[in-house]
Homo-oligomer: A and B are copies of this chain.
Amino acid sequence: MSEPPSITQQEMRRRNLSLVAHAVARLGPLSRASVAAHIGLTRAAVSTLVDELIRDGLLVELGPSRPGTVGRPGSALQLNDQGPAGLGAEIGVDHLAVCAVDLSGRVRARVTYEAANRGREPGPVLRDLARLVRKVSAEAEGQGLRPAGLAVAVPGLVARGSSSVVRAPNLGWEGVDLAPALPALPLTVDNEANHGALAELWLGAHDPSLRNFVHVSAEIGIGAAIVIDGHLLRGTHGFTGELGHVPVRPEGPACACGGRGCLERYAGEEALLRSSGVDPARVAALHPGPGGRIAFLSERAREGDQQVRRALREAGKALGIALAGVVNLLDPQKVILGGGHSPLLPWLLPALERELDRRVMDPGRVGQGAVIVSRLGSDGPLLGAANSVVQACLDNPTRLKAGGKGGAAGP
């Protein structure tokens, strides 16, 4: 049954611990009294919760700001920067990356590794990834941090709540479980577009009232992630956001998904290269590595290449058509454009916005400023993954109990 359970005292405590942790994360350094004022609980109740969070290693108390005075006049709480850490990993078509962030989301260790993963067997790719995870994890531990979990961003469909990639067409993977190959840490695996959207929510430096948006990650594939009231929409199977397979021209060119005229056939990286008159394989050989092919296209557009500019206009138009349908269906506050296509936006955006403006019901609410560009660039998915571990710690501080004293868990 999906009936909500009755609330027990224990759940209330868990929720209130999380409120304290989030208040300090958002507003800290902060005194106990200020925390109480912000979350609307008594000072006594907050003090008990704070003591527990300190004991479990999430918060630390700074010394009094005016040393020598009686009591703890200015003593302030902040997140422990030697506490739990989130490990994030990204499996890209052209690279692997791993990073560690502390409870405030600051990157404390990071490594990127160029690798042509398309068509490579999952085994060797995951062995490389496991090596990078161990390296970053050791580096974080060396700084006094305690990795609390690992989240992996992948370019494909992930079954909801599982560690299995159902299908990642641009890697050529089907039905690959990541768990056996990776170090033994609490593991979550999710689509890169989902992690990118969560990064926008937590780190995007947007107006804090922005809690309903569609985040588009255009690169080799085109994914979208839908955030509603600050929560990611995951769908029944975990397969939301397949924007790349929204039909744009139903009788258009055949797509690998079995459909025709999907958005990816107009605005995905390979389609862009082809309609720019460029052989994707040749340019990939000349400009390897993450972003090489897109940098090449943006260079050509900047130099005034008319065919490239036309191709980008058409891609922007296709994106606008598909997004008009999305906005008519979902009524978001904003559409955020992220992902590897960012260098192409000067040529994509005008056509995209024109279509949105024409096709969205009640266009008054979109138009100026409805589309914004991510400031995280291609880092979004990796940072979103690492921060999802940290957010899970803040959402449910009690789950850290076992390792809370900084030592190994008992037998």
By a CB distance below 8 angstroms, the chain B residues around A332 are 235-236
Whether a CB of chain B sits under 8 angstroms from the CB of A5 is yes
Interface size in chain A (residues, C-beta < 8 A): 70
Whether a CB of chain B sits under 8 angstroms from the CB of A246 is yes
Whether a CB of chain B sits under 8 angstroms from the CB of A111 is no
Whether a CB of chain B sits under 8 angstroms from the CB of A410 is no
Whether a CB of chain B sits under 8 angstroms from the CB of A292 is no
**Contact string against B for A residues 312-340, beta-carbon threshold 8 Å, 1 for contact and 0 otherwise:** 00000000011011101111110000000
Are A7's CB and B12's CB within 8 A? Answer: yes
One complex includes copies of this chain to the number of 2
In the complex, residue of chain B having the shortest beta-carbon distance to the beta carbon of A22: B3
Whether a CB of chain B sits under 8 angstroms from the CB of A115 is no
- Further contacts, 12 of them, CB under 8 A, given A240-B331, A322-B325: A5-B39, A6-B16, A157-B362, A235-B332, A240-B330, A243-B328, A245-B361, A246-B329, A249-B249, A257-B359, A258-B359, A329-B329
**Contact string against B for A residues 343-387, beta-carbon threshold 8 Å, 1 for contact and 0 otherwise:** 000000000000100111111010000000000000000000000
Whether a CB of chain B sits under 8 angstroms from the CB of A138 is no
Whether a CB of chain B sits under 8 angstroms from the CB of A259 is yes
* CA–CA, A401 and B359, complex, Å: 47
* CA–CA, A189 and B23, complex, Å: 36
6 sampled A-B residue pairs with Cβ under 8 A: A3-B19, A3-B22, A236-B365, A240-B329, A245-B328, A258-B358
By a CB distance below 8 angstroms, the chain B residues around A322 are 325
By a CB distance below 8 angstroms, the chain B residues around A239 are 331, 361-362, 365
By a CB distance below 8 angstroms, the chain B residues around A229 are 2
By a CB distance below 8 angstroms, the chain B residues around A23 are 3
Whether a CB of chain B sits under 8 angstroms from the CB of A407 is no
Whether a CB of chain B sits under 8 angstroms from the CB of A403 is no
